[in-house]
Amino acid sequence: MTKNLALYVAAFAALAPAAMAQTLTNPSFESGWSGWKDVDPNKDATSVSGHYNTGLKSAKISKEPGHFEQSISLFPESEYELQAYVKGPGEVGIELAGEVASAVSAGDGETWVKLNVPFKTGADTSARIFGGWGGGEARFDDFELVALSGPAKVAADEAAKGPRVYTTIADGCEDIRQLRVQYVSAEGDFDKEYAPERIIDHDFSADSRWSAKGAGREIILDLGLPQTLKELGVAFYKGHERRSYFEMSASLDGRGYLPLIARTESAGKTTAIQRFDLDDTAARYVKVTAYGNEKNEWNSILEIQPYGCGFGMIDPTGDGADVAEYSNKGLFGLFTDVPPSENFDLSAWKITVPYDKDGNGKVDEIKEIELNSGWQDTEVFYTDPVTGGMVFRTIPGGTTTQNSSYARSELRQMMRAGDTAIKTRNDDGTPTRNNWVFSTAPKETQALAGGVDGVMRATLAVNQVTRTGEQGKIGRVIIGQIHAKDDEPIRLYYRKLPGNKFGAIYYAHEAVDQDDVWVEVIGERKDNAGNPIDGIALDEIFSYEIAVSSQEVDGILHPMLDVKIIRDDGSEIVAPSLDMSQSGYNVADDFMYFKAGAYSQNNSILPGWRDADQVTFYKLETAH
């Protein structure tokens, strides 16, 4: 939230003690049917009468099917009593969570009788107060809700203390949650089909909205009691197709409003809740003043959600993201206009890139915190503007790491997630919490590591491979690895030769101080391989899974390496399990970490060619 705010102090007058927990709108019908719904299909069974218990008016039901009602929100887990005065035979009651509680007057039509309807709330807090036909002509007046116990009674007792001064200071309350809206109203005309109460019904469908035409239309939320307001969320109808114009203000008493956000506009990217940061403000009433949208004069809002802290905090009701429409979404729900870290959790990765821009003579690396805070580079690591995928691209002749002669744009797993108090490696080769080990390593080694065994799953497409250079290097790129202290239990390759339509997938297992073991998964590895009929084309989306686990063989645990390729139609190509018990990794001074990206395996491209390797990831996850 906004820091270093000036002290803000305001006072408000408390409402009547019993009514403060929830206030019925127009409970004595002094404003006619305002706040009430006259449910009378023929419009001749109900009316507003000049006979009254107090004030000057009451409601009248003269025949069946006369009925009127009012929707309200209540405090959860509370006891209440609905009270009303009835002259003549009439029914008053409440419907809550599908259950109806009511009382009926058998009055003579000459005397006002007070009816009492006790009830309890649970988690469901939306209710309907009503008055109805009781067998004869009746009048109804002075409806009231009285809080008896629970949060509703606490709120009523607080209000009964009289006028209070509410103070909010910058960071005066640290917690932030969604705040309950007790009542919503709109100033001026609005489309009767799309009434104000629809913006707090937790329904993000297009038919559940408030709509009003013209500049300066106001909608007002009543939070019931002053709360500390920190953010306001608004979901706009057709919010993925157009930008809407509006401003926000707040008030303690519903009369004098303090500006919160000057006239601004929505992002125009989604129908889900868009949250706006506010200066911490003590407020009971929140006003959104709307000024149409970039295409027409209509103001249409699906939902409004206030956030902050105070007595009215509730569990979140959802931001609509699960049913929202977006203008900036590509494949797999990825956003197309954000850095990779906003689509992927990169908190436990760093990236090595194929250049030395800081001029220190070493390949550049972007560490976990910077990477996960939005770092990107339009040449080597960025979000694809069409699909939203995370793009890794190598640069011809790029800078390489100390122990490699090939350039890379590649993530390296960092289990410490930015905690620099944890070393990346120990001098003696034993693991730290930044790395993981096999479950067949010594128990004391497992205790030092950040994880035991592991799996990496990725969904990706190879977009480009090199087309020039030496025959033995052309067209190959590593798309996933497990790296040990010095060696590589697996390097997963994609390779497409220039004359082939499809590419092959194979991997190398590098045992300690031994020659590599090569395993072909799709197609052949050889430099003059023919076109693999079941191969994977450039830009074809597929998935891989690299897993290390242990398997008991003759009473002894063996570390096993398993590799699986999943095509976009769901079919799987599963490589035979590789037993790594003789590979030299079941020791106290070795450790593992995953790598993923585009690690070029061609450093022989011809000068003048715009040659590179490019891989786009759509999903990437690890587990231990």
Per-residue pLDDT tens digits for 314-367: 889 999 999 999 989 899 989 999 999 999 999 999 999 999 998 898 999 999
Q: Specify the pLDDT at position 224.
A: 86
Topology, domain 340-623? Jelly Rolls (2.60.120)
Q: Specify the pLDDT at position 162.
A: 56
Judged by DSSP in three states, 539 sits in: coil
Q: Specify the pLDDT at position 18.
A: 32
Which CATH number is 177-309 given? 2.60.120.260
Q: Specify the pLDDT at position 154.
A: 77
Q: Specify the pLDDT at position 168.
A: 42
Using the 8-state DSSP alphabet, how is residue 172 labeled?
S
Which residues of the chain are under the pLDDT cut of 50?
A: 1-21, 163-171
Q: Specify the pLDDT at position 339.
A: 97
Global confidence as pTM: 0.65
Q: Specify the pLDDT at position 175.
A: 78
All structural domains of the chain with their residue ranges:
37-161, 177-309, 340-623
Structure tokens belonging to residue 616: 């786009």
CA distance 113 to 84: 8
Angstrom CA distances, 482 to 186, 514, 574, 609, stand at 60, 17, 18, 32
159: enclosing H helix or E strand: helix 150-160
Q: Specify the pLDDT at position 9.
A: 35
Return all residues near 515 (Cβ < 8 A) that are at least 6 apart. Answer: none
Q: Specify the pLDDT at position 73.
A: 80
Burial level of 371, CB count in 10 A (0-12/13-18/19+)? buried
CA proximity to 480, closest of 504, 506, 498? 506
Architecture of domain 37-161: Sandwich (2.60)
Q: Specify the pLDDT at position 153.
A: 84
578 with 517: CB under 8 angstroms? Answer: yes
Per-residue pLDDT tens digits for 384-434: 999 999 999 998 788 888 888 999 999 999 999 999 999 998 989 999 999
CA distance 190 to 218: 10
Fold match between domain 37-161 and domain 177-309:
yes
Q: Where on the phi/psi map is residue 444: left (φ > 0), alpha (ψ -120 to 50), or beta?
A: alpha
Looking up tokens 């087309």 gives: 467
